[in-house]
Amino acid sequence: MRGIYTAAFLDRLVTQFARTRGVESLDLGKGFELITGTSTGAMVGCALAVGRPMSEIIKMYRDHGRQIFPHRIKGTTSAIWRMFVGGRYVRKGDKVLRTALTDVLRETTMLDVFQKRGLSLSIPAVLMSSHRSWVFKKTPMSGVRDDHYKLVDVCMASSAAPIFRSLAAVDDPNGDHGVEQIFADGGLWANNPIMVGLADALACAPPKTPIEIFSLGTCSRPEGELIPPWKVHRSILGWKMGAEAAGLSITAQEFAFDNMARFIGNKLTALGQPVTRLRFPNKDLPAEMMKYLALDDARPEALKRLIQQASNDADLAKSACDDPNNPDGRMVKALMMSLPAMPKTGVEMETAA
């Protein structure tokens, strides 16, 4: 559910630059050659790739969040309850999410985005038949394997978070045999997909071409626990049936992959392949936000607070853009000023028959 923060942040920033430029809106997806996103980030990224306004994504979360996550895991008791009746909840949420995504992404395929929008996509997931990482990919170097996967299926696969949601059963478009592949959430290995993006950028960019990486998170919660030695014997109930382990994995990956990307980017730059990395926002959250940052918290007050926080952070980002001495601000401003205009209702993209 924290994806509503990402969508609201982008919506606010784009709206301000659109007003500055005197146009209805800006086609943010066209500012990039490659878009990568995992889980809820896959939904936001695919919407940008097809030219949908972020207001549609905000509406999707607000209108359907309570049905996608009809039961929030908020303690040991609720975790035990889910152990017995959880299948009913995730089945209902799966159906609602697919319908909501179809309203936004329609029948668009990976190949449609590449051919008609000139954009590459790399969306992480996990293939359950082999328990190995999988990237739904369409780039100039990727081949044809994923061409005909629908973006709705790709998003369902990338966001199929164990415990919180159903696994994703996706029709294999590479044959007429009625075969379905089963996928789990890409956040199991690439919740922060910055290294996926860097790898594909290096594969596709001509030698020594400057690479700019814009990395946007989902209002990550400040984490960490001071655990006394006598409380280390934590078992399944202590982890809320695994729900708290998911948050631990997300935080650890975000930190690790950001630092790996920084280290590799600096080394590549020194070797003559310039890599610039910008992660925003990068400030501490107010302490009172902590109670609204559960992955499955679809309460109206939580969504409202996430949107408010996104608006505040976007305003700070815009202030940085207006400061000529702020290098991050200059980078974002250059991107925003280069974007093509689009109607406020978004781009209407024809899909292949």
Among 27, 112, 153, 185, which one carries the catalytic annotation? Answer: 185
Q: Please, what is the average pLDDT of the chain?
A: 89
For residue 12, the one-letter residue type is: R
39 is catalytic: yes
- pLDDT over threshold 60, residue 82: no
Alpha carbons 46 and 311: distance in angstroms, whole number: 22
Q: Tell me the pLDDT tens digit for each residue of 110-160.
A: 999 999 999 999 999 999 999 999 999 999 999 999 999 999 999 999 999
- pLDDT over threshold 90, residue 304: yes
CB under 8 Å to 322, separation ≥6 — which residues? 329, 333
166 is catalytic: no
Q: Which residue has the tokens 């990956």?
A: 253
- pLDDT over threshold 60, residue 4: yes
Mean pLDDT value of segment 327-350: 93
Report the percentage of the chain scoring pLDDT > 70: 91
pLDDT in the model for residue 353: 46
Spacing of C-alpha 5 from chain mean position: 11
Mean pLDDT value of segment 62-88: 68
Q: Show the domains of the chain with their CATH numbers.
A: 2-220+237-342 (3.40.1090.10)
Question: What is the maximum alpha-carbon separation in the chain?
Answer: 62
Q: Tell me the pLDDT tens digit for each residue of 210-222.
A: 999 999 987 766 6
Q: Which residue has the tokens 């369409």?
A: 138
SS (H, E, C) the chain: CCHHHHHHHHHHHHHHHHHHHCCCEECHHHHCCEEECCCHHHHHHHHHHCCCCHHHHHHHHHHHHHHHCCCCCCCHHHHHHHHHHHHHHHHHHHHHHHHHHHHHHCCCEHHHHHHHHCCEEEEEEEECCCCEEEEEEECCCCCCCCCCCEHHHHHHHHCCCCCCCCCEEEECCCCCCCCEEEEEECHHHHCCCHHHHHHHHHHHCCCCCCEEEEEECCCCCCCCCCCCHHHCCCCCCCCHHHHHHHHHHHHHHHHHHHHHHHHHHHHHHHCCCCEEEEEECCCCCCHHHHHHCCCCCCCHHHHHHHHHHHHHHHHHHHHHHCCCCCHHHHHHHHHHHHCCEECCCCCCCCCCC
Q: What is the CA radius of gyration of the chain?
A: 20
Token representation of residue 31: 């500012």
Q: Which residue has the tokens 């999707």?
A: 60
Residue 180 banded pLDDT, cuts 50, 70, 90: very high
Q: 141-150, 164-173, 275-284: which has the minimum mean pLDDT?
A: 275-284
Pairing of strands 120-127, 132-138: antiparallel
Among candidate residues 314, 294, 310, the one with its CA nearest the CA of residue 302: 294
Among 11, 25, 27, 39, which one carries the catalytic annotation? Answer: 39
Mean pLDDT value of segment 83-112: 85
Q: Tell me the pLDDT tens digit for each residue of 231-249.
A: 888 877 777 767 777 778 8
Alpha carbons 6 and 142: distance in angstroms, whole number: 28
